[in-house]
Chain A
Amino acid sequence: METPLFVGEQIHGLIPQRPPIVMVDTLYSATETEAETGLHILEDNVFVEDGRLREPGLIEHVAQSAAAFAGYGTFRQGLPPKLGFIGEIKQFRISRLPLAGEDLRTNLQILGEAAGITLLSASTVSGDELLATCRMKIFIKED
């Protein structure tokens, strides 16, 4: 059985967001260049309308997945999570909006880093079904 690195409220140690805007609940794995996160979509999720997670919720899930990935890096250095900003989102393609009750898993891969900006590719699945892909640039604010 897979043992996540961080799950549930533990994830608050990696990201600056707090309920009800927390859109990632699991960090399954993380390496220098890749991570996998998850989210169980609750009925009362603020981004759920008519039983489906809407587009802004998917985008926020990917953004917070990136934040958790970055937060895990600072956690390993014994530092608190840093504030991150989305610099750009490109090629966001959604094939289906997930239903409340589904479990999302998002794979993140770092494609490049320069001048404090990280370019990531993300793909989100539910089970074996690909739901969304995108490229995102994030800027992590240094203290």
Chain B
Amino acid sequence: MIMEKQELIEKINAALAEEFEIDVEDITPEGDIKATLELDSLSLVDMVALVESESGVKIKGSDVAQIKTFGALYDYLTEHQN
């Protein structure tokens, strides 16, 4: 099922905020994902798995490094929804 972009953003933000124990208001489109979620090399894959599960979009391993901000993540997910 294809979600509207705003619906997708809200769903992803809520899931990330809960999983990584931050306020959802701290997630902004221009925010750096790793810094905001305090990700290290091991927890980065947790973020990817969660986002894939919530969005239904598979993020290629080679694409993960290119996605720096939440805005870029939303764009990627929107573009790759079936």
Contacts and interface: CB of A to CB of B under 8 A. Distances in A.
Interface of A: 87-88, 111-119, 137
A74 to B, nearest CB: 15
A87 B42 contact: yes
B44 A111 contact: no
B28 interface: no
A117 B42 contact: yes
B24 interface: no
Contacts of A88: 42
B10 to A, nearest CB: 21
A110 to B, nearest CB: 9
Interface residues of B, number: 15
19 contacts: A87-B42, A111-B49, A111-B53, A112-B45, A112-B48, A112-B52, A112-B59, A113-B45, A113-B61, A113-B64, A114-B48, A114-B59, A115-B41, A115-B44, A115-B64, A117-B42, A117-B44, A119-B45, A137-B42
The 6 closest A-B pairs by CB, nearest first: A112-B49, A112-B48, A111-B49, A113-B61, A114-B45, A114-B64
B38 interface: no
Contacts of B65: 115
Contacts of A119: 45-46, 48-49
A42 B52 CA distance: 39
A137 B59 CA distance: 17
A87 B49 CA distance: 16
Contacts of B61: 113-116
Contacts of A113: 45, 48, 61, 64
A117 B65 CA distance: 12
A137 B46 CA distance: 9
A63 to B, nearest CB: 16
A116 B64 CA distance: 11
A58 to B, nearest CB: 22
Nearest to B40: A115
Among B42, B45, B46, B61, residue most surrounded by chain A Cβ atoms (within 10 Å) = B45
